Amino acid sequence: MKRLRKILGWFSLVLLVLVGLALIFNEPIKNYLVAHNGQTKIVRMTKNQIAQSHHQKGQFDFSKVESISATQVVQAATHNDAAPLGKLAIPAVGLKLPIVKGLSDDSLSTGGGTMKPDQAMGQGNYALAGHYMTDKGALFSPLARTQIGQLMYITDLTKVYTYKVTYKQIVDPTSVWLIADKPNTQLLTLITCADGGTNRWCVQGDLVKTQGATKRNLAVFQ
């Protein structure tokens, strides 16, 4: 009995240590998995996958979007169902992410999710949402460091669209007018959390160039 209590005591101690380590390293592990999810999706993305994604349904209910959790990240890493639509890059702040369809947990644990069902690159107001994380390099966190005049790029692997940042503000979460189309205006709008989730960062850019995708101009997404 004494030996059994000793074994149980050691087991409890080891369990407490493991739980403590999990709590301590939860955020770094989560950030690593997020980066891995996004990079895997970028590397493996093909034109055929993008074409198939256009026929899939997405989740576009803003009210269902929740703060990113370790569980969501692990699920996205193990069965990533996020439908790829292209790639996003802002070289000045080191942002390189897949563009995925809709606002599901899998999508937002992987990259930038489209905010409207029928968006088309290079047309209207192409709006993407992404999570803000404490790690400066994860998901849409780098948006906080963007500056007016910097270039943003998106591609569907057929064309590369270049936008120049013209607007950056912290806005109220109800400012949905920012993702609405404007007559004769081609915009890229990126939305993420600010002030601990109370408000939102909104970064917008005007379309300045459209080019056919080549190995050279696709390098910006690698």
Q: Which residues are catalytic?
A: 131, 193
Two tokens at 158? 């057929």
Query: CA of 106: how far to CAs of 80, 136, 200, in Å?
Result: 6, 20, 21
> What number of residues does the chain have?
222
Query: CA of 82: how far to CAs of 21, 41, 45, 108, in Å?
Result: 30, 9, 11, 8
3-state secondary structure of 76: helix
Of the candidates 101, 93, 4, 84, the one whose C-alpha atom is nearest the C-alpha of residue 43 is 84
